[in-house]
Amino acid sequence: MDDFTKRRIEKIMRHYMESAAEEQLRNRRSIGYSLEGDEVMLIEQRPSKDGAGWIELPVAQFRLDAGGWNVYGMDSGGRWRPVPEIPPSDDFQA
């Protein structure tokens, strides 16, 4: 992924996280992301059950493949699977 695309994705993700900030405060949770190679991982951060720290839970993965951006969700076995209801798109924001 080129630098321009990375900066654009970071801007989109920051805007998404800011728009969800009010809800996050009510639920004592946070949304974050990681960007690695041609993949963007959406992560939910919650307080641990014992209250000693935070845990991170992967929510979705966005992959830039030959057909565009594809959305993946985790199945019950911990494997990433394409989300068939969301078609690939050349535009990450879509």
In contact, 54 and 46? CB cutoff 8 Å: yes
Residue 34 to residue 42: CA distance in whole angstroms: 7
pTM: 0.79
Q: State the Cα angle at 67 between 73 and 17, rounded to 5°.
A: 45
Task: Tell me the two tokens of residue 92.
Answer: 């990450």
What ranges do the domains of the chain cover?
3-82
pLDDT of res. 66: 86
Average pLDDT over residues 22-36: 75
Quote the pLDDT of residue 19.
Answer: 75
